[in-house]
Amino acid sequence: MMEGGIEIIAGPCSAESREEVLSSAAALKALGVETFRAGLWKPRTSPSSFEGVGAEGLPWLMEVRDTLGMRVATEVASPDHVKACLAAGLDLVWLGARTTANPFLVQEIADSLAGSEGVTVMVKNPVNPELELWAGAIERLRGAGLTDIVAAHRGSSSLEKLRYTTKPFWQIPVQLRGRFPGLRMLCDPSHIAGDATLVPEVAQKALDLGFDGLMVEVHPDPEKALSDSSQQLSPRDFEAMAASLKVRKAGSTDAAFNERLCALRAHIDEIDDSLVSLLADRMAASREIGELKKSGGVAIVQSSRWEEVLSSALALGRSRGLPEDLVRDLFTLLHEASISVQ
Ligand code: PEP
Ligand code: MN
């Protein structure tokens, strides 16, 4: 727990060995972290990546619990995982982003958790940016009679090349909180950022938005980590981040106003990030067209094509209520820039 009642879960992306688990837990315990995370079953994109040690690591987590007095947490992605975690006595299990995207699996996991006592269930947002899918997973868990539920925001995938590896879509957790008043919301800045140097700014944004806590990936030697190596903090970097974070939530008389303003600014920042990514893609496509035209001996400017581009942009803009001058000026600038790269 940090100042202001901010809850912190920290630990390596994956449990790799007993040594790695115990040494990272001891370092985090010394920094005041109460809940230790480590993934045992890792849902990896490529079958040739490290897929976790599985149930073999459960005793390591229980050793952390018994010797350091920390709460221990891992990801579950099937009823078998749930069964193993409940039998071992874990304190928290979470549904990962790929699991939350699959309602059949969420239902099976909810059913296998039914009747369990003393286990917190955390639900990450799905990999795709859908509020309803995230909300539906929470409803399935509630429907199974579970009451100790936490949501965790980790952004969603995007084809755009953005500042972070995921697109945060901050408006989605803000809407989720509106949907489930009182639901505890954590943020996972590690999976949003995808880069250790960017984790602190994402964590600060989450606190400014009124999140109740953070789940952060911390590895004793990030460069050697078997998964998510680029985004894991060393214990020393985690300590520096924790010392620098400012909790603006507690004590502020106009916290709601500040959170709303921060949410709107975060939304604008995401749009600007996308705009720049789209501009870069558009310029790259123009450059390719230029090369193709050159190889085919065709002139750079074809005025009929430009008229077509402009009139369809104007029509789209009109349908979205945009001022005509804005669209015309913007597309004229884009057209000039395209000609100059060609
Ligand atoms: C994780 O927390 O290690 C993880 C796999 O997260 P996500 O499901 O958000 O990708
Ligand atoms: Mn990870």
pLDDT tens for 14-54 read 999 999 999 999 999 999 999 999 999 999 889 999 999 99
- Residue whose entry in the numeric block shows the structure tokens 């940016």: 129
Atom of ligand 1 nearest to the CA of 14: 3
φ/ψ of 198, rounded to 5, equals -100, -5
Query: In degrees, to the nearest 5, what angle opens at C-alpha 211 toward C-alphas 66 and 226?
Result: 50
Is the pLDDT higher at 248 or at 307? 307
Atom of ligand 1 nearest to the CA of 154: 9
Going by CA atoms, what residue is nearest to atom 8 of ligand 1? Answer: 96
Confidence band, pLDDT 50/70/90 cuts, at residue 303: confident
In angstroms, what is the span from residue 218 Cα to ligand 2's centroid? Answer: 10
Going by CA atoms, what residue is nearest to atom 1 of ligand 1? Answer: 13
Going by CA atoms, what residue is nearest to atom 6 of ligand 1? Answer: 96
Is residue 165 within 8 Å of 195, Cβ to Cβ?
yes
Mean pLDDT for 320-325 is 98
How much of the chain, in percent, has pLDDT values that exceed 90? 90
Lowest mean pLDDT among 122-131, 265-274, 290-299: 290-299
Nearest ligand atom owner, CA of 76: 1
Nearest ligand atom owner, CA of 44: 1
Residue from 2, 3, 26, 1 nearest 11 by CA: 26
- Over the chain, what is the mean pLDDT? 95
Write the DSSP assignment of 72-83 as a string of letters. Answer: EEEE--SHHHHH
Give the pLDDT confidence of 125-182 residue by residue, as tens digits.
Answer: 999 999 999 999 999 999 999 999 999 999 999 999 999 999 999 999 999 999 999 9
- Which residues have any ligand 1 atom within 6 Å of their CB? 13, 39, 75, 96-97, 124, 154, 188, 191
At 341 the pLDDT is 87
In angstroms, what is the span from residue 25 Cα to ligand 2's centroid? Answer: 16
Write the DSSP assignment of 3-45 as a string of letters. Answer: GGG-EEEEE-SB---HHHHHHHHHHHHHTT--EEE-BSS---S
Q: To test ligand 1's pocket by mutation, which of 16, 75, 93, 128 has the most ligand atoms within 8 angstroms of CB?
A: 75
Mean pLDDT for 324-332 is 98
Q: Which amino acid, residue 155? A: G
Mean pLDDT for 216-232 is 98
